[in-house]
Amino acid sequence: MTERTTESEITFCHPFVLTSLVMTLDPGTYRLVVDEELIEGLSFAAYKRTGTHLEIPAVGIDIGSRQLLKVHPQELQAAMHKDAEGGEPLTLNT
């Protein structure tokens, strides 16, 4: 099975909340790591997402350790949308 990992950075201008973590995260730029695997047997290359992780704390924060927080892509997209609107931190009921 062929796998690939892509990294990008996303920036939040306001504090935000994800259900994967009980605390509010500070504004800043965060590294987003997406893992995908090749869907075999197709006549074209296609990948399916197998994991989405947010590296915390934010890039540029001076701290001794970092961790990858597994996040749900739709929840992260909702938090980014809420941040763009300039609203209060998003809280989700699970």
Which amino acid type is present at position 58?
A
Residue 40 φ/ψ, nearest 5 degrees: -85, 155
The Cα–Cα gap between 85 and 14 comes to 10
* Residue % of the chain over a pLDDT of 70: 86
Residue 88 — pLDDT band, cuts 50, 70, 90?
Answer: low
- Where do the domains of the chain lie? 3-85
Q: Which residues contact 76 (CB under 8 A, 6 or more apart)?
A: 10, 18, 32, 52, 54
Q: Write down the pLDDT at residue 87.
A: 62
pLDDT at 94 over 60: no
